Structure 1
Amino acid sequence: QPPAWARGAVIYQLFVRAFTLEGTFAAATERLPELQDMGIEIILLLPIHPTGQEHRIGSLGSPYSIRDYRALDPALGTEDDFRHFIETAHALGLYVLMDFVANHTAWDNPLITEHPDWYTHNVAGDIISPNADWKDVADLNYASDDLRAYMLDTSLYWVNEFGIDGYRCDASYLVPNPFWTAWRDALKAARPDLLLLSESDGLDLYRAGFEVAYDWGTRDKFVQALRDPNLAIVLLPPIARELTETDHQLWRMRYLENHDHDRLAQTTNTPAQRELAATFLLTLPGLPLIYNGQEVGLTQRPSLFDVAKLNWRLGKEDLHAFYTTLIHLRQTSPALRYGTLEILKTDPPSVIAYTRTTSTQRVLLLLNFSPQPAQLPLPNLTTGQDLLTGETLDLTADIQLEGYGYWLLEIP
């Protein structure tokens, strides 16, 4: 189980060097109150370390090609700047996660020359990359006790010296599970309330000690449903089945875009589709993630390798307001934050209906993935309160959903 402060919370993934024109901790710190106002609770930073120059891809290199695990990229700011970022976030009630890249390093990381035995070698004795696509990084070999100890100490360093609140662990499925178990034990001994998020979808990573892992399937199914509304019917069954099998004790991080995926706004062509997407994401069980710029419908995904700045002037303020409304609704609605999930049968298949339920609240969600209006009955229901307007609605007649329409109803 994740710590209580993280359950159902909304995560905001922030790429420091692209988030502002300055691309610094100081500039990002100035904008933290905006994220608090939106209702964000957790800030997830892409890696903030110096990037490798050898075999670098692009002009800046990937933040996932790390030259020094215990240093900050000087282009982002100083240690004092980073401390101020974290202290400001904490003062605003925000939590900060770092991205821990344990599987590989940059080719010019000093560890390569100081500890070549910490790396994976081919039959010719050469250090190799994890795969053919990741040519800018060198693969680590966790057979080394000293490497495992170094990584444990490094993780504790950022917790103890800077007060971060947890980690997202990149490509954690490529690192042996016994390491993660020892890593978790060491971190939890230092700070029991840390949040540990695995970039994987395997249940074995939960058993290794992670509290939250990725939902890797829903995002692609959602995009397919926008293209073919009749596929909307396949979105929820895998989620509901997994929750039932784990007695609703399995926490997933769910997303519709992140640094590895194209912008959602490239698929959603209308404001109604973008609101539908936000409604779907922010009413699912788990921890929803918003990638910086998603909340205003930006279409350009910032490059991981070259200079790229988010152009906030192209953002849609009305979409930002809608995200804000939904996030605050999630914060104040026990059912949306913690509730169980039950799928209701609907016809046509382009409409999905589901409930989120706790002992104190029941919320009905209706989402139409088709551009065409839909009509559907709600048997056994007489009234419901529209959570977006506060209006009490008569549900004895058939519900009318506009194209790409949605309803959030509190029901008895």
Structure 2
Amino acid sequence: MNVHTPRHPSLYEVNARVLLRRLARKAGRRLTLDDIPDSRLARLAGCGFSWVYLMGAWETGEAGRRVSGSNEQWLRGYRDVLPDLQEEDICGSPFAVCGYSLHPDLGDPEALVRFRERLHKEGLLLMLDFVPNHTAPDHPWVRDHPDYYIRDTDRNLAHGRDPYSGGWPDTLQLDYGSPALQDAMIVELQTIAGQCDGLRCDMAMLVLPEVFRRTWGREMEPFWPRAIDSVRNEHPGFLFMAEVYWDLEWTLQEQGFDYTYDKRLYDRLRNGTARPVRDHLRADSEYQDKSARFLENHDEDRAAAVFPPEQHRAAAVLAFLAPGLRFFHEGQFSGRQKKTPVHLCREPEEPADPAIEEFYRQLVACLRLPPFRGGEWRLLDCNPAWEGNPSHDGYIAFAREREGERYIVAVNYAPDRGQCYVPLPWADLAGKAVRLRDLIGQAACERDGEGLLSPGLYLDIPGWGRHVFEVAAEEG
């Protein structure tokens, strides 16, 4: 494999079971990973993606599916999305894993090998799931190694859970206080690592010693540093991304994860106030580089349903043009509004939103530019346009630069029109005429370099307004 990834890569999540069901309906026959067209993969590569996260690839069992199909609360949620719900639409949670081999519905075991090879030919890498906290109720270990699991007060095998929930009834909780279990999970990881290029580790913080102790009252030795080192000894460069919450992102980065979910940024963007977002972007550069930025994924509601249209666009500019890994979800580019529960393998029909499609086309074009893939990033000051005008506090601006290519990203992340000055950070603009061209809008102008340095670029834009300015200087 010889696939180069940029410093700030982009990832595209696709639900494997939903995608193949959709394609099969159009084809009128059963399809496997082999039938995903090369043209679809080429389009993703052409958009500048580095990773395809194939969610739901692993084998699940009938026990988990029965729970998924009998839980009344879950069933009500399914029917909200699919009023015409059929039994065959319920395939069970892909996170109730009973074996790390390709699910038979997706093809024979070698279909995953072939799919990965096709991705590599397009310059794409494959990410799959690892579920460390629990297994399906019909995992072979339940029969062969019941000592790998935690028992409840009635001596029954306990359901997987976190410290704040009542548990997931389609799972059984693994006992990380058992050295034998930890060794067995590392063997599983090593096996999985031979089938892909990186892993999204589901609820990775649940197997941190302090969280495990709080949940189960049991001590355990640290798992992640040893597990990650073990995999990388055999597969150098293998990538680990953690689904993590509760301000434990930095803890997992220190334990070896390449990327951690940035749920904090998502929550602050959703809240719609600029200052907390701006403060978040002041974090250490290493933390920023290892943050996975998203506006939706299979756990979160659809961005088009959560954010009003203009705020959606403003939030996307901030989340995806900042440093870190850019995490996109299939359907996001077309403005889908209905979140499909992971227990289902059919999604509702929804028309595409041409306006949001055009916005994301422009945004993805920006992400293909070298400064946004690996250039230097710096947060910029947004100063008052005049005394007594507080609207500058709604602005967030930053610069991207690489090998002489320069861009300014500026967003009025507030509902009302605002004004500010943004001093540009390049002293060599003095004495030059500077052309500014917006890559996501129609704005274009020419300014004197001295004025752009002090008092700065003057901005007067409506609520949720945004610019991505190409900055080109020439001798004045």
Whether 2:298 is the aligned partner of 1:254: answer no
Note closer, same or farther for the CA distance 1:362–1:258 as it changes in structure 2 (3 Å cut): same
Instruction: From 43, 53, 64, give the equivalent of 2:52.
Output: 43
Q: Distance in 2 between matches of 1:321 and 1:26?
A: 30
Shift of 1:357: 4.7
Q: Deviations over 1:197-233 (max 9, x none)?
A: 11124322122221211112111111110xxxxx122
**TM-score normalised by structure 2 residue count:** 0.76
After TM superposition, the structure 1 = structure 2 runs for residues 85-104 of structure 1, keeping only pairs within 5 Å, are: 85-104=115-134
Q: Distance in 1 between matches of 2:250 and 2:423?
A: 37
Q: Contact between 1:50 and 1:73, CA under 8 Å: does it hold in 2?
A: yes
SS at 1:11 equivalent: strand
Give the AA of the match of 1:172. Answer: A
Residue number in structure 2 paired with 1:66:
97
Note closer, same or farther for the CA distance 1:249–1:266 as it changes in structure 2 (3 Å cut): closer
Instruction: From 12, 30, 34, give the equivalent of 1:26.
Output: 34
Q: Distance in 2 between matches of 1:371 and 1:53?
A: 49
Give the AA of the match of 2:376. Answer: G
Instruction: From 282, 293, 301, give the equivalent of 2:331.
Output: 293
Residue number in structure 1 paired with 2:454:
none
Residue number in structure 2 paired with 1:331:
368
Whether 2:347 is the aligned partner of 1:309: answer yes
Whether 2:303 is the aligned partner of 1:264: answer yes
Q: Contact between 2:379 and 2:399, CA under 8 Å: does it hold in 1?
A: yes
Q: Deviations over 1:355-385 (max 9, x none)?
A: 3355745432111234544333345687343
After TM superposition, the structure 1 = structure 2 runs for residues 385-404 of structure 1, keeping only pairs within 5 Å, are: 385-386=436-437, 388=439, 393-395=445-447, 398-404=458-464
Q: Identity, % of aligned pairs? A: 26
After TM superposition, the structure 1 = structure 2 runs for residues 321-400 of structure 1, keeping only pairs within 5 Å, are: 321-334=358-371, 337-346=374-383, 347-348=390-391, 349-357=393-401, 360-379=404-423, 383-386=434-437, 388=439, 393-395=445-447, 398-400=458-460
After TM superposition, the structure 1 = structure 2 runs for residues 223-262 of structure 1, keeping only pairs within 5 Å, are: 223-225=270-272, 231-243=273-285, 246=286, 250-262=289-301
Q: Distance in 2 between matches of 1:239 and 1:376?
A: 19
Residue number in structure 1 paired with 2:206:
174
Q: Distance in 2 between matches of 1:374 and 1:394?
A: 21
Shift of 1:165: 0.7
Residue number in structure 2 paired with 1:221:
268
**TM-score normalised by structure 1 residue count:** 0.87
Moved more, 16-25 or 115-124: 16-25
Shift of 1:57: 1.6
Q: Distance in 1 between matches of 2:168 and 2:291?
A: 26
Q: Contact between 2:382 and 2:422, CA under 8 Å: does it hold in 1?
A: no
Q: Which has the higher contact order (CA 8 A, sep 6+)?
A: 1
Residue number in structure 1 paired with 2:17:
17
Give the AA of the match of 1:376. Answer: C
Radius of gyration: which is bigger? 2
Q: Contact between 2:289 and 2:325, CA under 8 Å: does it hold in 1?
A: no
Whether 2:172 is the aligned partner of 1:138: answer yes
Q: Contact between 2:12 and 2:51, CA under 8 Å: does it hold in 1?
A: yes
Q: Contact between 2:266 and 2:294, CA under 8 Å: does it hold in 1?
A: yes
Give the AA of the match of 2:33. Answer: F
Aligned residues: 397
Give the AA of the match of 1:316. Answer: D
Shift of 1:16: 0.7
Q: Distance in 1 between matches of 2:55 and 2:267?
A: 22
Residue number in structure 2 paired with 1:7:
7
SS at 2:147 equivalent: helix
SS at 1:99 equivalent: strand
Structure 1: gaps of 5 or more residues: 226-230
Instruction: From 134, 155, 159, give the equivalent of 2:189.
Output: 155
Note closer, same or farther for the CA distance 1:387–1:4 as it changes in structure 2 (3 Å cut): farther
Q: Deviations over 1:68-92 (max 9, x none)?
A: 22x2211122223222211111100
Shift of 1:321: 4.0
Q: Deviations over 1:149-196 (max 9, x none)?
A: 322222222333x3x111111111112463211211121111212111
Whether 2:253 is the aligned partner of 1:206: answer yes
Shift of 1:288: 1.1
